[in-house]
Structure formats: structure tokens, C-alpha cells
Amino acid sequence: MGFETITFKDLERIGLNKRFDKRYIMLTFDDGYQDNYDLLLPLLEKYQFKATIYVVTGENHNRWDHAVLDNPDKRFELLDIDSLKKLAQSPLIEIGGHTLTHPRLNQLTEDQQREEIISNKERLEEIINQPVTTFAYPYGDHNEVSKKIVSEAGYQYTVATNSGPKAIHEDLNQIRRIAIFPKTDTFGLWRKIRGNYTFRKK
């Protein structure tokens, strides 16, 4: 379909006003699982696609899903430090923040949100020795306090899930994303990426 994959660092270089010059698409992956290094990176290298990976730094596995008593998910390991460093060194990967422990930010106090967001950013920048300029709200959940903190922390682009304006430039602290799930078939993928899904979706 003629897409060129870009990261948010690329978007900053291209400029929002030039984003329609080509068919750009952004691939984002939340949480920072170990398979992002073991499986995703080789696929990105094979197809020369770029991606942004949002990384949790205060856990070693998906405790937020695995420790749910009524319907626990499988345990998946998060990136170890060496793998995270190697991902950050790839020209195909941008690393973003995703909190310390993957909480629902809109259920936390301002001080708790600040700790989750800022400590995560500081830890990531310490590990990868690069500025981290994009952030993803866990579950997409946030409030006006969350948006204030990410802005104060120096994040230039912050992504949600289904919330936020339909046009990216209208609120860079609440960028809407289109989710792709394991059950998404080829037609569903085509429908979601052809260009008008967000505007047609009910």
C-alpha cells in the first residue's frame, strides 16, 4: 500500500505540516516485552520497518495482567536491561515511556502519577543514554493531571488508545491510536490502515 514507517523522532524531523507528503504509518508496541527483542526486532530488520516501543521499568513481567485473580493472563517477561539497550541502538526503534508499574493513571493522586511518569522517564534515559520524548498512557487511561505531568516532563508526543481528537495535531498529549489484535484478520487490518478508519468508526 506504499506506506513508509516512521517514529515520533522522524515525525519531529518531518514536521506535522508535512505529514501528508507521503503515506506515513507508525507502529507502536506497549509494555516492553522481551519478545520485542527476540521476535519483533528481527521482523523489523527483515522488512526495514520502524517502530516505537513503550517500556515499563518498575516490573520484570506483566504483573498488572498476570496477578488478576478472576482472569489472570499468562506471564510474559519484560525486557532485560541488555536487550533494552540493544533495541535503543537500532535505527529502526524508538523507545518511549510507559510508567513504572503500568497503573491506571486516572485512579492515582497527582504525586503518584508524577512518580510513575517521571521516574520511568529518568530510568529509561539512564539505561539507553538517549532523550525519551514520547509516552503512552497505560490502558489509554489518563486525566488532565496526567496530561499536565507529561508536558512538564518534556514529552513531546503522548499516545492514548481510543480517546483523543481524530487529527493528531489537535492534541499532542492525547494522540489516538488504532489497535490491532490477535483476532484481526487480513481484511480487518486493511480496513484499519487504509486511511479513513478513525473517521468512519462509530
Residue 192, pLDDT > 60, answer yes
pLDDT tops 60 at residue 174: yes
pLDDT at residue 17, as a whole number: 81
Choose among 117, 125, 186: nearest CA to 153. 117
Mean pLDDT of 167-190: 92
CB distance 112 to 133 below 8 Å = no
Q: Is the pLDDT of residue 138 over 90?
A: yes
Give the model confidence (pLDDT) of 74-130 as tens digits.
Answer: 999 999 999 999 999 999 999 999 999 999 999 999 999 999 999 999 999 999 999
Tens digits of residue pLDDT in 15-73: 988 777 788 999 999 999 999 999 999 999 999 999 999 999 999 999 999 998 888 89
Among the residues of 15-79, which ranges form H helices?
Answer: 35, 41-47, 63-66
Domain that holds residue 100: 4-200
Which pLDDT does position 196 carry in this prediction?
80
If one counts the domains in the chain, the total is: 1
Cβ burial, residue 18 (10 Å; 0-12/13-18/19+): exposed
pLDDT at 200: 65
Show the cell assigned to 164.
483523543
| CA 173/CA 168 separation, integer angstroms | 9
Q: Which residues pair with 51 in a beta bridge?
A: 93
Q: Give the C-alpha distances (Å, rounded to integers) separating 170 from 25, 166, 174, 176.
A: 18, 8, 9, 10
CATH of the domain at 195: 3.20.20.370
Per-residue model confidence (pLDDT) at position 143: 96
Calpha distance 132→121 (Å, rounded):
7
**E strands, 12-63, in order:** 24-25, 28-31, 51-55
Residue 154 has pLDDT above 70, yes or no: yes
How many other CB atoms are there within 10 angstroms of residue 28's CB atom?
Answer: 20
- According to DSSP, residue 152 is labeled H
pLDDT of residue 69: 84
Q: Are strands 24-25 and 4-5 parallel, antiparallel or unpaired?
A: parallel
Q: Which three cell numbers stand for residue 175?
A: 494522540
pLDDT in tens, 157-171: 999 998 988 888 899
Q: What is the mean pLDDT of residues 136-149?
A: 97
